[in-house]
Chain A
Amino acid sequence: MKPFTYERPTTPAAAAAAVTRRPDAKFIAGGTNLLDLMKLQIETPGHLVDVQDLRLDTIEATDDGGLRIGARVTNTALASDPRVRRDYGVLARAILAGASGQLRNKATTAGNLLQRTRCPYFYDTYQPCNKRQPGSGCAAIGGYGRPLAVIGGSDACIATHPSDMAVALRLLDARVETVTADGTTRAIPIADFHRLPGDTPHVETALARGELITAVTLPKPLGGTHVYRKVRDRASYAFALVSVAAVIRPDGTGRVALGGVAPKPWRAEAAEAELPSGAKAVADALLAGARPTADNAFKLPLVERTIAAAISDARE
């Protein structure tokens, strides 16, 4: 960890300005991801701008019947909110499938969306990694690829986005609200929020430097049965090999999004039209063009099987 300075502004625009001012500044929320990365010198900010006094920690109803979730609402608070549990069950379940109780108490909505990959080579600073050190190469390609992406990767990077929460947000068509130093706000559709790696795997989101996430909004409830199936090597406290978020309506139509397979939550609206034809059709459409490695090719049949499991869970 490198020495850093720290400040705690009280308004979102001031926070955005504080990060914009210094090129080596970063926001810090729960710190559950950022501090680990700083200890390993994978992130080396010289200045931290804490978001905890920005009053971004409430969940409110929106005019169009949805919810606005403050950027600093903890994962625990979000998953236990009665409105979320009633109307957005897939979100509550996805969050509770992640990390541990202690971590969720600290982890925040914005921090969770912005958590970085769990590619093991990213964590070993002796290894080339285009995401950590642009242009250095990718040790994972041709190496140990079991946890990595089967689709959406590039010749520069095949890391996955590890968040469970983000998969549910993608399914629900959430929007990410932001503010910049000059007070400009915008709402980014979640589908456009995370970027595919292409030649620049270190650029992971649509955020500009210094742009602060203030909230995530959910449109009005979808109805249907909400399912989140996370498949992993142990019963708890592990990142997904594959996860499936689904909302299934009584007539068999619905939505499906995947985690653990791509550099971002993976959803293809066209694939959802196949839902009435069954899991295989949906999986084939979602994963068309997949380029798995030898040791993660199992994720393709696993996706299909997990979608089948989700459909069958929804029927029960």
Chain B
Amino acid sequence: MKFEHPAGLNPIDRLTVVGRPVDRIDGPLKTTGTALYAHERHDVAPNQAYGVVVGAAIARGRVETIDVRAARAAPGVLAVVTTLDVPRLGRGRMNYAYLFGGAEIQHYHQAIAVVVAETFEQARAAAALIRADYTPEQGRFDLAAEAGHAPLHGDGDEPVHRVGDFETAFAAAPVTLDRTYTTPDQSHVMIEPHATVAVWDGDRLTLWTSNQMIAWSKKAVADILGMPAEKVRVVSPYVGGGFGGKLFVRADAVLAALGAKAAGRPVRVALTRPLVINNTTHRPATIQRIRIGAERDGRITAIAHESTSGNLPDGSPETAVAQTKLLYAGAARMIAMRLARLDLPEGNAMRAPGEAPGMMALEIAIDEMAEALGLDPVEFRIRNDTQVDPAHPGRPFSYRDLVGCLRLGAERFGWSARDPKPASVRDGRWLIGLGVAAGFRNNLLTKSSARVELDRHGVVTVSTDMTDIGTGSYTIIAQTAAEMLGVGLEKVVVRLGDSDFPASAGSGGQWGANNATAGVYAACVRLRDAVARKLGLNATDIDFADGEVMSGDRRVPLGEAAGEGLSAEDGIEYGSLAKDYQQSTFAGHFVEVAVDAHTGETRLRRMLAVCSAGRILNPKSARSQVIGAMTMGAGAALMEKLSVDTRRGFFVNHDLAGYEVPVHADIPHQEVIFLDEADPISSPMKAKGVGELGLCGVGAAIANAIYNATGVRVRDYPITLDTYLDRLPRPA
């Protein structure tokens, strides 16, 4: 189905199942431990052995020799494969680091060997016996040191994006700001590390793995291992979190496959936490300069956002400037990125790539600017709202109610009680502050397919390679099929995450919910047609409800209509609507913090997000996405940072004791409000993504609240107490 015109009325608009806060249908499996994750797939093949990955001990250079004699001789060892045993393997299309093969070491903990043994303990003990000799080379690891000579990089677009004459407008503006902000490297540290069970059957390979993008990964496995894609099957029905870290095939999958081939047995491999951090991908650090010029009435006349990040050769920049093209009005604009060459592990997508760190900077700058103008920061944002793409005024937003988010949020949060003068509210030892920030994340459209089958009991089975990474995909897909075919959820079976199923949008970029359900919608339309044809009815005047097909006075139970079974496959594809309209999602984030007047420790007291994100397919799972994202935003604002050893070239705090993420005690009452809306331009579902929106802006709202509490402006994340203790006045 080609989606080329804004959606009209369709069966989803009934909202009898879609739009309801139904529980996750996979919930009982997960709470009872019966949803099996990759490393638990004892059931898929007998006689599995265990592989343990050995990472490189240097950050850059060559591995000259790898002594595996002791490891091979260790108890239980079945096979050892080293990077010197194979030529350099291929890479995934969107990856920059090589996962295995050859002598070159591009980054710390790059895989140099896998040891396969009968038990995990044996494999781990043998892996510790491997001795490698290296010739190290001097690498570059310090973004700040490299930033000065980093070249421009447009990431596929023009390297410098200009509208009007920024320099002149900025020079002429009566009120200006010119500040630099930094965000650190961050790790996904999803609870389930990367893990794979690899099974060879002749020249066919099946990977039971943990992955967000099945179709991409099937192709990538074929490219990396140099085999035809038809011979590869990737299965990933449950994923214990990904956040972008599982968009790609990683060393667990590749080394499970190579280990299994060498051992002649199915092999399972999981990455350890240090390998998750230094062997896989991370969100790159940024240095962002923002300049804003405004008239005294608060209208922005000039805005520039420049960001520098680093990556391996061939790598791409963190697109931290993306939102600044679109979020606020302003006639003169300049946007640019620079990319430094670094020899750290590969920088790549992490939840809301670009916007998450970009909004952390931009929305402090907006707060600073509001203060300089003597305007309330909510009002300042409202004054600079735009309903069109500022670079192309003929291109409107498909739907945008940022103003509504900010207004309602201000009202619900009690914003008017905020004292704009910083450091004026005290509660015992605590300094209290309120902060606000806008949230912004684009809505991405990408094709997605599904198969829908109807059996003679009226049971509807949906199959698609879509993944559920803890987000609720199973449930919203079931809701979509139930709505389209007029059955209860108990009549719907959803099968996900298998490359044998039709290719979907996958989970990433908050595009999963809207596109994957739209693909299911398309397949259901086709199934409805098949039912109509079978019954000799006209597809345009039949209705599906209460488990029956209805036309005029005729009512046929669905199961009966199915006969021996009906099956339909289709997908959604998009026309030019994404070009004609800018599609984005919006939020107002409000936060109250308490800062210890003595020690500078920050504790969150309240958080509110009001979201404008199209139709909400399931308010319960959507809320859970947003509060999870707000929690991640709190981590980004207050504690998450990969600490780089700039001499040795690696992330030092490579476990969960050193890389701190929020715990329950850090997270206060969180409230989420979804504006009641539908966006007919996004898809027949009229929905958009929310999974990343909840993260974008939260960090800045916290930073702004800390400023309001203390009077200290911190422009470097995370805002740990040592970033500003020297500026925090001592309590009397």
Contact = CB atoms under 8 A, between A and B. Distances in A.
A239 B657 contact: yes
A3 to B, nearest CB: 7
A233 B658 contact: no
Given A234-B660, A235-B663, A1 B722 contact: no
Interface stretch (A152-160, A218-226, A298-306): A298-306
Contact of A237 (B600, B601, B643, B663): B663
B663 A234 contact: yes
Interface string B584-612: 00000000000010111101000000000
Interface string A133-164: 00000010011101100000000000000000
Contacts of B274: 124
A308 interface: yes
B638 A233 contact: yes
B517 to A, nearest CB: 36
A245 B321 CA distance: 47
A125 B274 CA distance: 12
A118 B657 contact: yes
Interface stretch (B10-18, B120-128, B700-708): B120-128
Contacts, number: 99
B653 interface: yes
Interface of B is mostly: loop
A219 to B, nearest CB: 30
B125 A1 contact: yes
A124 to B, nearest CB: 7
B564 interface: no
Nearest to B75: A3
Interface in A1-44: 1-3, 39, 41
B124 A120 contact: no
B639 A234 contact: yes
A185 interface: no
A120 B658 CA distance: 7
Nearest to A306: B599
Contact of A123 (B124, B645, B655, B664): B655
B67 to A, nearest CB: 16
Given A239-B657, A301-B725, A309-B599, A233 B125 contact: no
B124 A231 contact: no
Given A120-B652, A123-B655, A236-B665, A231 B722 contact: no
B121 A1 contact: yes
B647 interface: yes
Nearest to A2: B125
Interface string A277-316: 0000000000000000001001001100110110010000
Interface string B693-732: 0000000000000000000000000101110011000110
B648 interface: yes
Given A236-B663, A309-B429, 12 more contacts: A121-B652, A144-B652, A147-B658, A233-B660, A233-B721, A235-B663, A236-B666, A241-B721, A241-B722, A308-B598, A309-B596, A312-B429
A298 B728 CA distance: 12
A139 B648 contact: yes
A231 B730 CA distance: 16
A122 B77 CA distance: 28
Contacts of B600: 302, 305
A238 interface: yes
Contacts of B429: 309, 312
A298 B722 contact: yes
Contacts of B121: 1
A127 interface: yes
A234 B598 contact: no
Interface in B607-666: 638-639, 643-645, 647-648, 652-655, 657-658, 660, 662-666
| Chain A: interface size category | 35 or more
A207 to B, nearest CB: 25
B730 A146 contact: no
B639 A233 contact: yes
Contacts of B725: 298, 301-302, 305
B599 A302 contact: yes
Identify which of B601, B654, B666 gathers the most chain A CB atoms within 10 Å of its CB. B601
A54 B706 CA distance: 52
Contacts of B638: 233-234
A237 B274 CA distance: 19
Contacts of B125: 1-3
Closest 9 CB pairs between A and B? Answer: A309-B598, A235-B665, A298-B722, A236-B665, A126-B57, A144-B652, A305-B598, A233-B639, A235-B666
B726 A301 contact: yes
A236 B667 CA distance: 11
Interface in B139-180: none
8 contacts: A1-B125, A3-B125, A127-B648, A234-B639, A234-B665, A236-B666, A238-B660, A312-B429
A146 to B, nearest CB: 7
A144 B141 CA distance: 13
A142 B652 CA distance: 13
A31 to B, nearest CB: 16
A233 B720 contact: yes
A268 B658 CA distance: 29
A111 to B, nearest CB: 17
Interface string B347-377: 0000000000000000000000000000000
B665 A143 contact: no
Contacts of A229: 599
Contacts of B731: 308, 312
B653 A231 contact: no
Given A1-B121, A124-B274, A126-B57, A146 B722 contact: yes
Nearest to B603: A235
Contacts of A306: 598-599
Identify which of A3, A295, A305 gathers the most chain B CB atoms within 10 Å of its CB. A305
Contacts of B603: 235
A302 B75 CA distance: 51
Contacts of A125: 128
A232 B429 CA distance: 17
A305 B730 contact: yes
A232 B601 CA distance: 8
A302 B601 CA distance: 11
A126 B600 CA distance: 35
Nearest to B726: A301
B660 A144 contact: no
Given A124-B654, A142-B647, A231 B663 contact: no
Contact of B643 (A146, A231, A305): A146
B655 A231 contact: no
Nearest to A235: B665
A236 B124 CA distance: 32
Contact of B645 (A1, A144, A231, A238): A144
A290 B639 CA distance: 26
